[in-house]
């Protein structure tokens, strides 16, 4: 057990928590090597505290060859030496806990890195060996096994099987450097329990579970697939690759482990499944929560937002869990930009057939002023909803996506493997601007592992801290207020004019959102905070306001 301060408190602290996602390599760099690190995060502990968040979630910081931004984990129970040490991790937990901030780490159970010792052993071991049985190795088709075992593409484009020097093939749903584990193997199951215990014992409060719906696969016959669109995934538990009912047995064993801690460790599933299949992931005898990405994919429109909210509050009721809201994360275009990209799927995971992203990324002509107005309004609306909210580093600065990163400086395998079909996720992973000028805008004393645009300084923390009307000031005010006002997980809809949406958190506050391009009159009440100035009782276009009813 590490010496970190343990945080006690109610077992249900997570139900309406605000969790701030840190992408460690891009947050703050303490030693001028251009890569964000744990000491950098510790140096910003007071900044994190100033946001009144309840927890931080760290994307992977484990040893990794960075074939997929760290989601290719070479050792689940260590820290990448470029990012820090286990001792520094303990210091980070302590720094957070001292400030009442809890900590989530990211668990990547579907696949490891090809640098993981188990995969290295598998490569050196013969066909049919116990070492290969931890992954999915198969013989190929064709006269000499020269054809892949099945017609499977990966998430990031072409092949989902890669051949090893001795002629066998292994399956990978993501890059070839991310071999999939075989979860029917008890050794794999035991090893992940060991990892969860390792971090729980170090004081970690919660886990974000990567691709939580893919672990269990039906490999007889070997699955074929060429598209990862949700429409292709079966929605009744019979899909050979995703969302099989048996996956919940794994999470029940995890839950038993989580409940051995006081307070119990918590977890949130990243599962891009059909919405009606989400509840079991959030079940209280399973992981306990599941991401709901429906607002993130929703059109900027009152009716759509209201439907999404209703549906997800119903799901939450079915499981006894609370829902989760997300507007941005490390995989999608930042919401300032996304909310003014013409409708379609471009802004989220994949490009559509018109491929807006590829065609427009160097010359987008987007109305980012409107994008920022909508983003602030969307966030203020989200923060008024019952359930927990997940924020992504830099959204509190109103950062737009960086769309013009030169191709040769991109890192995202989705871009390189996608053959022009997929967007790059690098644009939301550019290191944060802390200061208006200087090398890497205060990210560190050196460079920055992804190029920062010249306009980044205007968005910096130092600049925004001096402006009461900045996005940062809005986030701080709203987050602090939310903490004070937060009550029961209940929402009542209020009548409101066309193009607007209004709801009340009984006994505490009203949120009124104007999705339209015209100003509208706000309901009676005292203005607590608004995403744009209310004048003469009018809320500007694309804005939201919190009110206390008189």
Point out the residues that are catalytic: 210, 260
Strand partners, 504: 492, 510
Judge contact between 374 and 542, C-beta under 8 A: yes
Closest contact distance (angstroms) between CB of 30 and Ca ion is 6
Q: Does residue number 180 form part of the binding site for Ca ion (CB under 5 A)?
A: no
Q: What is the DSSP code (8-state) at residue 356?
A: H
Closest contact distance (angstroms) between CB of 3 and Ca ion is 24
Q: Does residue number 76 form part of the binding site for ligand GLC (CB under 6 A)?
A: no
Closest contact distance (angstroms) between CB of 21 and Ca ion is 19
Of 68 and 395, which has the nearer Cβ to ligand GLC? 68
Q: Among residues 136, 211, 247, 529, which is the contact residue for ligand GLC, using CB under 6 A?
A: 211
Q: Which residues of 336-371 are buried (b: 16+ CB within 10 A; e: fewer)?
A: bbbbbbeebbbbbbbbeeebbbbebbeebebebebb
Q: Does residue number 31 form part of the binding site for Ca ion (CB under 5 A)?
A: yes
Q: Is 312 exposed, middle or buried (0-12, 13-18, 19+ CB in 10 A)?
A: buried
Pairwise CA distance, residues 498 & 513, whole Å:
11
Q: What is the DSSP code (8-state) at residue 456?
A: G
Binding mask of the shown chain, residues 246 to 265, with x at each position contacting ligand GLC by CB under 6 A: --------------------
Find the residue with minimal CB distance to Ca ion: 37
Closest contact distance (angstroms) between CB of 525 and ligand GLC is 40
Helices (H), 343-460: 356-360, 368-383, 413-417
Of 27 and 281, which has the nearer Cβ to Ca ion? 27
Judge contact between 74 and 113, C-beta under 8 A: yes
Closest contact distance (angstroms) between CB of 311 and Ca ion is 43
Of 33 and 159, which has the nearer Cβ to Ca ion? 33
Q: Does residue number 439 form part of the binding site for Ca ion (CB under 5 A)?
A: no
Of 270 and 426, which has the nearer Cβ to ligand GLC? 270
Of 47 and 416, which has the nearer Cβ to Ca ion? 47
Give 218-226 contacts, CB < 8 A, sequence gap 24+: 218/244, 219/136, 221/150, 222/138, 222/149, 222/150, 222/152, 223/150, 223/152, 224/150, 224/151, 224/152, 225/151, 225/152, 225/153, 225/160, 226/151, 226/153
Closest contact distance (angstroms) between CB of 119 and ligand GLC is 15
Pairwise CA distance, residues 95 & 463, whole Å:
26
Q: Does residue number 177 form part of the binding site for ligand GLC (CB under 6 A)?
A: no
> With CB cut-offs between 5 and 8 Å by kind, which of Ca ion, ligand GLC, none does residue 210 bind?
ligand GLC
Of 37 and 182, which has the nearer Cβ to Ca ion? 37
Of 209 and 502, which has the nearer Cβ to ligand GLC? 209
Segment interacting with Ca ion, rule: CB under 5 A, options 34-42, 156-164, 365-373, 481-489: 34-42
Judge contact between 150 and 161, C-beta under 8 A: yes
Q: Which of residues 319-378 bind ligand GLC (CB under 6 A)?
A: 330-331
Closest CA to 470 of 398, 382, 401: 398
Q: Among residues 80, 182, 210, 239, which is the contact residue for ligand GLC, using CB under 6 A?
A: 210
Q: What is the DSSP code (8-state) at residue 209?
A: E
Segment interacting with Ca ion, rule: CB under 5 A, options 29-37, 396-404, 408-416, 504-512: 29-37
Find the residue with minimal CB distance to ligand GLC: 71
SS3 state of residue 158: strand
> With CB cut-offs between 5 and 8 Å by kind, which of ligand GLC, Ca ion, none does residue 174 bind?
ligand GLC
**Cα dihedral: 110, 112, 113, 114 (round 10):** -100
Judge contact between 423 and 357, C-beta under 8 A: yes
Cβ within 8 Å of residue 141, ≥6 positions away? 147, 148, 149
Q: Does residue number 504 form part of the binding site for ligand GLC (CB under 6 A)?
A: no
Q: Among residues 4, 18, 37, 68, which is the contact residue for Ca ion, using CB under 5 A?
A: 37
Q: Does residue number 33 form part of the binding site for Ca ion (CB under 5 A)?
A: yes
Closest CA to 392 of 18, 16, 21: 21
Q: Does residue number 108 form part of the binding site for ligand GLC (CB under 6 A)?
A: yes
Q: Does residue number 71 form part of the binding site for ligand GLC (CB under 6 A)?
A: yes
Q: Among residues 61, 89, 174, 459, which is the contact residue for ligand GLC, using CB under 6 A?
A: 174
How many of the chain's residues bind ligand GLC (CB under 6 A)? 9
Of 239 and 426, which has the nearer Cβ to ligand GLC? 426
Pairwise CA distance, residues 497 & 49, whole Å:
38
Residue by residue, DSSP assigns 57-86 as: EEPP-SS---TTTT-S-S-TTS--TTT--H
Closest contact distance (angstroms) between CB of 65 and Ca ion is 17
User: What is the distance, to the nearest Å, from the Cα of residue 168 to the centroid of all Cα atoms in its chain?
Assistant: 34
Pairwise CA distance, residues 362 & 365, whole Å:
9
Residue ranges that bind ligand GLC, judged by CB under 6 A: 68, 71, 108, 174, 210-211, 270, 330-331
Binding site for Ca ion (CB under 5 A): 29, 31, 33, 35, 37
């Amino acid at each position: 057990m590490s010496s970190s301060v343990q945080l006690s408190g109610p077992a249900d602290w997570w139900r309406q928590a605000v969790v701030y996602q840190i992408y460690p390599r891009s947050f703050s760099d303490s030693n001028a090597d251009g890569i964000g690190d744990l000491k950098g995060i510790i140096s910003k502990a007071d900044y994190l505290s100033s946001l009144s968040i309840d927890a931080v979630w760290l994307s992977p910081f484990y040893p990794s060859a960075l074939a997929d931004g760290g989601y290719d984990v070479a050792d689940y129970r260590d820290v990448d030496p470029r990012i820090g040490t286990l001792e520094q991790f303990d210091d980070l937990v302590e720094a957070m806990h001292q400030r009442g901030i809890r900590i989530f780490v990211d668990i990547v159970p579907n696949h490891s890195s090809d640098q993981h010792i188990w995969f290295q052993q598998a490569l050196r071991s013969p066909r049919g060996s116990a070492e290969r049985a931890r992954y999915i190795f198969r013989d190929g088709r064709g006269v000499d096994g020269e054809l892949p075992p099945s017609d499977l593409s990966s998430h990031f484009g072409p092949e989902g099987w890669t051949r090893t020097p001795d002629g066998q093939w292994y399956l990978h749903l993501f890059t070839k450097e991310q071999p999939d584990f075989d979860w029917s193997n008890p050794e794999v199951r035991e090893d992940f329990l060991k990892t969860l215990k390792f971090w729980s014992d170090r004081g970690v409060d919660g886990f974000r579970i990567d691709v939580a719906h893919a672990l269990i696969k039906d490999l007889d016959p070997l699955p074929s697939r060429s598209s990862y669109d949700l429409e292709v995934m079966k929605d009744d538990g019979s899909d050979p690759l995703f969302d099989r009912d048996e996956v919940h047995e794994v999470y029940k064993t995890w839950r038993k482990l989580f409940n051995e801690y006081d307070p119990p460790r918590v977890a949130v599933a990243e599962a891009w499944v059909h919405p009606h299949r989400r509840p079991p992931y959030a079940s209280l005898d399973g992981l306990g929560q599941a991401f709901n990405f429906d607002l993130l994919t929703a059109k900027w429109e009152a009716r759509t937002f209201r439907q999404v909210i209703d549906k997800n509050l119903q799901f939450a009721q079915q499981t006894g869990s609370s829902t989760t809201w997300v507007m941005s994360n490390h995989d999608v275009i930042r919401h300032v930009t996304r909310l003014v990209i013409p409708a379609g799927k471009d802004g989220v995971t994949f490009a559509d057939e018109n491929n807006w992203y590829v065609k427009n990324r160097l010359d987008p002509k987007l109305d980012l002023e409107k994008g920022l107005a909508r983003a602030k309004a969307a966030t203020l609306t989200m923060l008024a909803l019952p359930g927990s909210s997940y924020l992504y580093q830099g959204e509190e600065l109103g950062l737009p996506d960086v769309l013009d990163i030169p191709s040769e400086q991109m890192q995202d395998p989705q871009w390189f493997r996608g053959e022009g079909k997929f967007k790059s996720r690098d644009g939301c992973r550019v290191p944060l601007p802390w200061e208006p000028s200087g090398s890497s805008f205060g990210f560190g004393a050196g460079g920055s592992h992804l190029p920062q645009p010249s306009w980044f300084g205007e968005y910096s923390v130092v600049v925004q801290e001096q402006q009461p009307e900045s996005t940062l000031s809005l986030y701080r005010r709203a987050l602090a207020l939310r903490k004070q006002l937060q009550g029961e997980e209940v929402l009542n809809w209020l009548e409101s004019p066309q193009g607007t949406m209004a709801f009340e958190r009984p006994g505490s506050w009203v949120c009124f959102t104007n999705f339209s391009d015209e100003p509208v009159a706000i309901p009676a009440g005292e203005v607590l905070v608004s995403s744009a100035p209310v004048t003469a009782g009018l809320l500007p276009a694309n804005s939201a306001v919190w009110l206390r009813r008189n």
